[in-house]
Structure 1
Amino acid sequence: MSHKILKVHPNDNVLVALADLLAGEAIAYDSVALSLIEDIPAKHKIAQQDMAPGEEIIMYGTLVGKAVELIPAGARISTENVKHQASAFSGKTKTLEWQAPDVSKWTDKTFMGYHREDGQVGTANYWLVIPLVFCENRNVNIIKQAFLEELGFGRQDLYKSYVQQMVALYQEGKLDEIEQLPLQGYSSNAQKRLFDNIDGIKFLTHEGGCGGIRQDSDALCALLAGYIHNPNVAGATVLSLGCQNAQTYILEEKLRALNPNFSKPLIVLEQQQEGTEQELLSRAIKQTFLGLVEANKEERQPAPLSKLVIGLECGGSDGFSGISANPTVGQASDLVVALGGKSILSEFPELCGVEQELINRCVDEKAAERFAHLMRAYAHAAEAVGSGFDMNPSPGNIKDGLITDAIKSAGAAKKGGTSPVVDVLDYTEYVTKPGLTLLCTPGNDVESTTAMAGSGANIILFTTGLGTPTGNPVTPVIKVSSNTKLAQRMPDIIDVDTGPVIAGEKTIEEMGAEMLDFIIEVASGNIKTKAQQLDQDDFIPWKRGISL
């Protein structure tokens, strides 16, 4: 890899700038010398040859765009001179022959997890408090206020203390000192936790459960059932109003579908049956406390790495994401799969243009046909409301080199590594087969991570090139930066830096091995991710309209 430019695939007709390049600078690749005709910011793409209007743009060895005007060799490709274009797809055209990576280093390794009666193993031990409808959000928040500090799960409020200091200075007439007032650090907990074996109580408030179409409330119940069934969850308290679309019997049906022998502690209370708010809350708090006592009896025990279920996510991506962070995560995914574990690739709008590759990786026609059907249905639904996958890149993506959805998708798909696709699931369906599964979700970061946890992920790997604080209430999210500048600028959210790949200091294989070692430490509870340390508990159910 050159320290200034990179050709990702031998068939590409564009180069990637690995550093800021200046107009007039001479670069050479594949024995072809180019003189740059404009400044090229790092992460952006350079035309390797003159491109006529209508000529295809190839990157990652696949079609990612089409020139809309003459693009001279040495010019930057941009939203002004290129438009989105992606390859068509059909049924399976070839059979995948996968060479699994060497995993002998990890064959006998284990992680320390929470073993559930159904055979799943959690990387954490949480209790959930869930409203079936938004009408119960207030009551859930009252329970939250009652429990967190008293049980030692609270956090000293750094910013509240900061304002208190400002108030004191103002009252003393010392306005000039406020400008220089430093923000002091804080400890993660206000006091020692009462329950040592419980990682926290999580409160999944939302705006659904009633008022929308019935399919939305059914999907919400399925998602919440998935969270309760997730191996990182010890038990749950569910609050229902009583008259909403998302009825308790629907939740219970979804739980039985996941596990006919469901045995976790489950407290379900209905406000319209309990009477006063005080009666509801006192009973909910008392029963939840007793449930926590039981959950605290669970202890971490050794578990094989085959019990890992890895969710694969990207957000705030940049032009390096598909070169460093995503391939590193893909390598880690392949290692987990080779060890008998499960891996989940989601974000269907960000698989646009690589459908044929993924179809050919499907182990059977059934999975291939379902993936093609879900992709076409999603694309048609987007078009029906005047949108489309081509509108997926965000302003931040475009600014940092991801100018078409196909470019973004070709890089995003690298998170899925190279292993066979063993299953294809729709939103809220639960992962059951060892290997790589495709899960239909939006590309929206939080909706996608929310969905993967609901489908059984017990660890999530989240790559970013621009920086995003996204976390999840029940599943540890490991944040992976595509470049070292980001890791240094936002160290409070980044766990792993794959910038050394861009610098040519480490290979994807080396970074993938380090990633797996880090996963094992997080899964064992030895390392708290930055998102966990910040209590970054993002939870947004997908209303099955259109969300890209």
Structure 2
Amino acid sequence: MSNTFLKIHPADNVFVALTDLKAGEKISYEGKSLVLKDDVNAKHKFAENDLAPDDEVFMYGTVVGKATQPIKQGGVIGTHNLKHKAAPYSGRTKTYQWTPPDVSTFRNKTFMGFHRADGQVGTANYWLVIPLVFCENRNVEMIRQAFQDELGFTKPDVYKNYVHDLVNLYREGKTEKLADVRFQPATEVPSKRVFKNIDGIKVLTHQGGCGGTRQDAQTLCALLAGYIHNPNVAGATILSLGCQNAEIKTIQERLATLDPKGLKPVIILDQQQSGTEQELLSQAIQKTFLALIEADKTERKPAPLNKLVVGLKCGGSDGFSGISANPAIGHTSDLLVALGGSTILSEFPELCGVEQELINRCEEDEAGNRFIQLMRTYSDAAEAVGSGFDMNPSPGNIKDGLITDAIKSAGAAKKGGTAPVADVLPYATYIRKPGLNLLCTPGNDVESTTGTTGSGAQIILFTTGLGTPTGNPVSQVIKLSTNTRLAQKMPDIIDFNTGQIISGEKTIEQVGEEILDFIIEVASGRTTAKSVALNQDDFIPWKRGVSL
């Protein structure tokens, strides 16, 4: 690979700039050469040959757009001369053959996890406090606050201390010194945790459960049941008001489907039955404390890597996402699948244009047909309100080279590696088969990670080229930068740098293996993901309207 530009696939007719290139520079490739007509910033594209209006542009071996005006050889490609176009798709068109990667290095490796009675293994041990309706948000937050300090889960409030220093100077009349006060990062404090095997009390506050459609209430209950069933969860306390659409019986039915033997402890309290708020909260706290004593008896023990369920997500993407971080975690996904583990690729609006490849990779026609139905229903719903998948790229995406949804999607799909598709899951459906799974979620970062965790992911690999602090209350979200500059600029949120692929120092395969080793460390509790350290507990259920 050249250090200055890249042709991703032999069928492509554009190049990607790996560094800033200047107009007039001569580019040599495959015994040919061209002269750049324009300045091309790193991550952006330029034409291999002259393109006329309506000519198709190819990247990753598939159509990603069409020219809207003449583009000269060596000319920069942007929103001013290219618009979205995606390849059509239908049923399976060919049989897919997969050669799994060599996993001999990982065959005998294990992670230290929390073994559940149903056979799942968690990479963390949380207790959930859940409102069935937004009316109970305040009450679950009060429960969390009551436990947080006393159980030793509170971290130093460094920003409160910073404001305290500023206030003291102001009160002393020393306003001239305010600009000199420097923020002091947190220092390590001795742990006062009461339960050594409990990682935290997590709350899932939301704005649903009533007032919306019955479908939203049903979906919310299915999602919450998935969170409770997630192996990172020891048990849950659920608060109901008593009159909402998301009824107690509904979530009980959903839980029974996932856990028919009732192996996981779940405490359910109804405020309208309890009477006073004091009675409700005191009962909830007492019952939860007694349950925590039992949950703390579960300790980490070795588990095979086939017990891992890893989500595959990108956000704040850039023009390098589909070249470095995404294919790297795609190789990690292939390794896990070859080991008998499971991965979940979400974000259906960011699979636009690569549908046919994924359909052909489905192990069963039923899964392929389900994927077609979900994609078309989602796309039609977006178009019905004047939107569409073509509107998916954000201003940040476009600025950094992802100028059509098809370009973004072709690179985003690389997160799924090359393994066959074992299953296709509607939103709020718990994982049913090992292997690569496709999960219908929006591209929206938090709605997507929320859905992926509810489908059983203990860990989520989250690639980013621009930087985003997104996390989750239950799954450990590992952030991977697509470029070294981002890793250096935002070390507080980036866990792993894949920029060495862009510089040519390492291959996609080498980095993919290193990522799997990193996953093992996080899954074993020996390394803490930055999103967990920052308490980035983002939770937004998808109301089944249009969200890209």
Deviations, residues 256-292 of structure 1 (Å, cap 9, x unaligned): 1112112211110111110111111111111111111
Q: CA deviation at 1:35?
A: 1.4
Say if 2:496 is the partner of 1:496: yes
Taking the aligned partners of 1:35 and 1:440, their CA distance within structure 2 comes to: 44
Where do residues 43-442 of structure 1 align in structure 2 (5 Å cutoff)?
A: 43-187=43-187, 191-442=191-442
- Indicate if the aligned counterparts of 1:153 and 1:189 stay in contact, CA closer than 8 A: no
Taking the aligned partners of 1:2 and 1:90, their CA distance within structure 2 comes to: 37
Deviations, residues 523-546 of structure 1 (Å, cap 9, x unaligned): 111100000100001100000011
The SS at the match of 1:492 is: coil
Question: TM-score, normalized by length of structure 1?
Answer: 0.99
Taking the aligned partners of 2:87 and 2:147, their CA distance within structure 1 comes to: 53
Say if 2:536 is the partner of 1:540: no
Residue type of the partner of 2:217?
S
Question: TM-score, normalized by length of structure 2?
Answer: 0.99
Query: CA 1:190 to 1:136, structure 2 compared with 1: closer, same or farther past 3 Å?
Result: farther
Q: CA deviation at 1:251?
A: 0.3
Question: Greater shift after overlay, 349-358 or 29-38?
Answer: 29-38
Taking the aligned partners of 1:38 and 1:325, their CA distance within structure 2 comes to: 28
The SS at the match of 2:149 is: coil
For 1:531, the equivalent position in structure 2 comes to 531
Taking the aligned partners of 1:189 and 1:380, their CA distance within structure 2 comes to: 53
The SS at the match of 1:153 is: coil
Taking the aligned partners of 2:458 and 2:492, their CA distance within structure 1 comes to: 22
Query: CA 1:470 to 1:188, structure 2 compared with 1: closer, same or farther past 3 Å?
Result: farther
Query: CA 1:499 to 1:208, structure 2 compared with 1: closer, same or farther past 3 Å?
Result: same
- Indicate if the aligned counterparts of 1:143 and 1:285 stay in contact, CA closer than 8 A: yes
- Indicate if the aligned counterparts of 1:149 and 1:191 stay in contact, CA closer than 8 A: no
Residue type of the partner of 2:508?
I
Q: CA deviation at 1:190?
A: 7.8
Q: CA deviation at 1:187?
A: 3.9
Taking the aligned partners of 2:544 and 2:423, their CA distance within structure 1 comes to: 21
Question: Greater shift after overlay, 167-176 or 226-235?
Answer: 167-176
For 2:469, the equivalent position in structure 1 comes to 469
Taking the aligned partners of 1:387 and 1:340, their CA distance within structure 2 comes to: 39
Residue type of the partner of 1:455?
S
Taking the aligned partners of 1:358 and 1:185, their CA distance within structure 2 comes to: 46
Taking the aligned partners of 2:231 and 2:2, their CA distance within structure 1 comes to: 44
For 1:19, the equivalent position in structure 2 comes to 19
The SS at the match of 2:150 is: coil
Deviations, residues 490-546 of structure 1 (Å, cap 9, x unaligned): 000001100000000000010011001000111111100000100001100000011
Residue type of the partner of 2:192?
K
Residue type of the partner of 1:537?
D
Residue type of the partner of 1:228?
I
Taking the aligned partners of 2:463 and 2:315, their CA distance within structure 1 comes to: 6
Question: Greater shift after overlay, 31-40 or 188-197?
Answer: 188-197
Residue type of the partner of 1:118?
D
The SS at the match of 2:540 is: coil
Q: CA deviation at 1:188?
A: 6.2
Taking the aligned partners of 1:211 and 1:506, their CA distance within structure 2 comes to: 53
Q: CA deviation at 1:189?
A: 6.2
Residue type of the partner of 1:332?
T
The SS at the match of 2:164 is: helix
- Indicate if the aligned counterparts of 1:154 and 1:190 stay in contact, CA closer than 8 A: no
The SS at the match of 1:72 is: coil
Q: CA deviation at 1:30?
A: 2.4
Amino-acid identity (%): 68
- Indicate if the aligned counterparts of 1:123 and 1:458 stay in contact, CA closer than 8 A: yes
Q: CA deviation at 1:22?
A: 1.2
Query: CA 1:262 to 1:187, structure 2 compared with 1: closer, same or farther past 3 Å?
Result: farther
- Indicate if the aligned counterparts of 1:14 and 1:58 stay in contact, CA closer than 8 A: yes
Taking the aligned partners of 2:72 and 2:290, their CA distance within structure 1 comes to: 71
C-alpha RMSD over aligned residues: 0.9
Say if 2:19 is the partner of 1:37: no
Residue type of the partner of 2:491?
P
Q: CA deviation at 1:193?
A: 1.1
Taking the aligned partners of 2:171 and 2:457, their CA distance within structure 1 comes to: 51
The SS at the match of 1:148 is: helix
Deviations, residues 407-448 of structure 1 (Å, cap 9, x unaligned): 000000000000000111100111121110111000111101
Taking the aligned partners of 1:298 and 1:130, their CA distance within structure 2 comes to: 22
Residue type of the partner of 1:444?
N
Deviations, residues 432-467 of structure 1 (Å, cap 9, x unaligned): 211101110001111011001000011110000000
Q: CA deviation at 1:191?
A: 4.7
Query: CA 1:190 to 1:547, structure 2 compared with 1: closer, same or farther past 3 Å?
Result: farther
Q: CA deviation at 1:75?
A: 1.1
Number of residue equivalences:
548
Taking the aligned partners of 1:405 and 1:264, their CA distance within structure 2 comes to: 42
